[in-house]
Amino acid sequence: MKWITREHPKIDRIACPWLIKRFIDADAEIIYVPYEQVLHKAEELGAVPFDLPGVEYSHYEDRCTFDFFIRKHQLKDPALDRIAAIVRGADTDRHEFAPQSAGLEAIFSGLAFNSKDDFALLELGMVIYDGLYSWAQHLYKKKHTQGNQAEQLLLEVYHKYLQDTSKKAPAWTQELREMIQDQLDTNMTLSLQQASDELDINPAYLSREFSRYFDNLSFGEYIRKARIGKAIHLIETTNYTLTEIAYLTGFSDQSHFTRIFKKQTGQTPTFYKKNVLKSKKEAKS
């Protein structure tokens, strides 16, 4: 059977082929193609697409595609459940799922950086996941650092790495900030679905993770706050009417603009503008 997914695999798109070949279809053919070609090639080749928004084999709830394969094919194996937690944490930047997630992400980030050959990377990944499976079966309870100063030092470095990287926002957050700024600058609309498509991130994951990196606000709340921030700037620095400012900041009508402005600032835009004009007049006198 043929299975197809996006090129440039790193975590889930290496883990899933390993799971397929080891537990579902030993003779499976794994195909990597550019994102925009996956569905067309899947139909052309009769392949099953996976780890792609909108297909059956993909992320669901707070789980990744590896989890879905396990559920779909009813793979009852505690060792696979342990690996699933590690893969989930590595693939979604949620290292609290398993302490090994950060290490797995670091390993495959480095391998992906060194190798641009997806199939060579998959070959390496098969060996790594075979080893991880043996650990998850037989060694996951074993402590290997007692009495070994070098390993103790490595463990300290590992925990320091976890502490440092847990505070670092993932790369997609900067891309999303730039997308939101572009929206504010051009008065274009940006929905959560559009953002997830552009970033190639599962929308459920993006919705759940958004508040962690954007002032503890939901996507909609953050967009509204940013629009009001721009509106305040325009009130303070331009001679635009409030109707023009409502349009320039993406509000559908004046009443919606007034309601959100008052909710954010405690004042109506009319009252706020009067105070701004009054302050400017007093400054000139």
The string of pLDDT tens digits covering residues 20-74 is 999 999 999 999 999 999 999 999 999 999 998 889 999 888 789 999 999 999 9
Q: Are 216 and 208 in contact (CB under 8 A)?
A: no
Q: Which two tokens stand for residue 212?
A: 């962690």
| Closest by CA position to 226, among listed 217, 235, 238 | 217
Number of Cβ within a 10 Å radius of residue 150: 8
Residue 155 has pLDDT above 60, yes or no: no
Q: Which two tokens stand for residue 156?
A: 């300290």
Q: Which two tokens stand for residue 170?
A: 């993932």
Per-residue pLDDT tens digits for 78-112: 999 999 999 998 888 777 778 888 888 888 888 88
Taking the C-alpha atoms of residue 9 and residue 88, their distance in angstroms, rounded to an integer, is: 15
Torsion of CA 199, 201, 206, 209, to 10 degrees: -100
HSE toward the beta carbon, residue 102, CA cutoff 13 A: 16
Reduce the DSSP state of residue 265 to 3 states and report it: helix
Per-residue pLDDT tens digits for 130-148: 999 999 888 877 655 444 5
Helical ranges in 135-237 per DSSP H: 149-166, 171-186, 192-199, 203-213, 219-237
Pairing relationship of beta strands 29-33 and 2-6 according to DSSP bridges: parallel
Higher pLDDT residue, 245 or 203?
A: 245
CA-to-CA separations, 165 to 92, 142, 177, 206, 240, in angstroms, rounded: 13, 26, 20, 19, 45
Q: Are 71 and 22 in contact (CB under 8 A)?
A: no
Reduce the DSSP state of residue 49 to 3 states and report it: strand
Name the percent of the chain lying above pLDDT 90: 40
**Domains (ranges, CATH) in the chain?**
2-142 (no CATH), 171-284 (1.10.10.60)
pLDDT band of residue 123 (cuts 50, 70, 90) is very high
Reduce the DSSP state of residue 242 to 3 states and report it: helix
Q: What's CA 223's distance to the chain center, in Å?
A: 18
> What DSSP assignment string belongs to 80-144?
HHHHHHHHHHHHHT-GGG-TTHHHHHHHHHHHHHH---HHHHHHHHHHHHHHHHHIIIIITT---
Burial class (CB in 10 A: 0-12, 13-18, 19+), 124: middle
